[in-house]
Amino acid sequence: MDQQSPSDARYLHGYSAEEQARLVEQAEYWREGLILPDLPYIAGERLLDVGCGSGAVLGVINSAFPGLQLAGIDREPRQIEAASRHLAALGAPSVDLRVGDANRLPWAQGSFDHAYLMWFVEHVRGIEPILREIRRVLRPGGTITINETEYESYHVWPEHEDWEYLEGAMFRHFQAHGEAHAGRRLGPLLVEAGFSRVSNRLVGAHFFVGSGDDSLARHTRYTADYIEPAIPEFVAMGYDESRLRRGLGHLLAIHADPHGAFTQLVYRARAWA
pLDDT digits (tens, 9 = 90+) for 212-225: 999 999 999 999 99
Domain spans in the chain, listed from the N-terminal domain onward: 17-272
Q: How far apart are the first and last CA of the chain?
A: 21
**Where does the pLDDT of residue 4 fall: very low under 50, low under 70, confident under 90, or very high at 90 and above?**
very low
Query: Domain 17-272, what fold?
Result: Rossmann fold (3.40.50)
Whole-prediction pTM value? 0.91
**Where does the pLDDT of residue 16 fall: very low under 50, low under 70, confident under 90, or very high at 90 and above?**
confident
Residue 231 CA: distances (Å) to CA of 102, 148, 167, 177, 243: 28, 21, 11, 15, 10
What is the average pLDDT across 26-53? 95
Rg of the chain taking only CA atoms, in angstroms: 19
pLDDT at 8 over 80: no
Q: Which residue has the higher pLDDT, 70 or 1?
A: 70
Cα–Cα distance, 44 to 70 (Å, whole number): 10
pLDDT tens-digit readout, 107-161? 999 999 999 999 999 999 899 999 999 999 999 999 999 999 998 889 999 999 9
Burial profile 221-247: b = 16 or more Cβ within 10 angstroms, e = fewer: eebebbbebbbebbeeeebeeebbebb
Write down the pLDDT at residue 14: 62
